[in-house]
Amino acid sequence: YYALESRGYGWVLAGLARILQHLPAEHEDHELFVERFQTMAAAVASLQQEDGLWRMSLFDPHEYPEPETSGTAFFTYALAWGINAGYLSADMYRPVVLKGWEGLTDAVNEEGRLGWVKDTGSRPEPVSEEDTGAYGVGGFLLAGSEFLHMLDDDE
């Protein structure tokens, strides 16, 4: 049994966002990608935890109760991009993005390291505040960039 792991699904949602950035609107499959992006965005948003972060196991957050920031970063990036690109409702998703970004910034320690990043691997596993890695940091930078664009669009 494998849990629905947050970083794996984060890659998918972020990947859909990247595809939509480059897929021409007149492409025959454009609407299919939009529909999948919007459907997945709604599902992911509903699984966000109170602290703004998602857990390793999306459908059973009690299985691995620790936050997982790489999945959170990819979700926050994709949702913010969706708002910025006009594919997602700002009224509905902006609070999710704000909460996600707050959770991510809270996971940065005094040395400037993003913690709670799952190690590379296919199975869910416990993470700690000291665990960091390129996947989490890269996703964090993507999320921050789209978050800033979202704030700029508010002005």
Q: Which of 56-60, 61-65, 123-127, 144-148 shows the lowest per-residue confidence on average (mean pLDDT)?
A: 123-127
CB 66 within 8 A of CB 126: yes
**Residue ranges in the chain assigned as alpha helix (H):** 6-22, 30-45, 69-85, 90-106, 134-154
Cα 146 from Cα 150, distance rounded (Å)? 6
Cα 49 from Cα 29, distance rounded (Å)? 33
pLDDT tens readout for residues 94-120: 999 999 999 999 999 999 999 999 888
Q: What is the pLDDT of residue 50?
A: 96
What contacts 152, CB < 8 A, 6 or more positions away?
none
Tell me the pTM.
0.94
Cα 27 from Cα 29, distance rounded (Å)? 6
Average model confidence (pLDDT) for the chain?
93
What is the band of 1 on the pLDDT scale with cuts at 50, 70, 90?
very low
pLDDT tens readout for residues 58-81: 888 888 899 999 999 999 999 999
Cα 50 from Cα 36, distance rounded (Å)? 25
Cα 24 from Cα 37, distance rounded (Å)? 15
The amino acid present at 103, given as its one-letter code, is G
The mean per-residue pLDDT over the stretch 123-127 comes to: 80
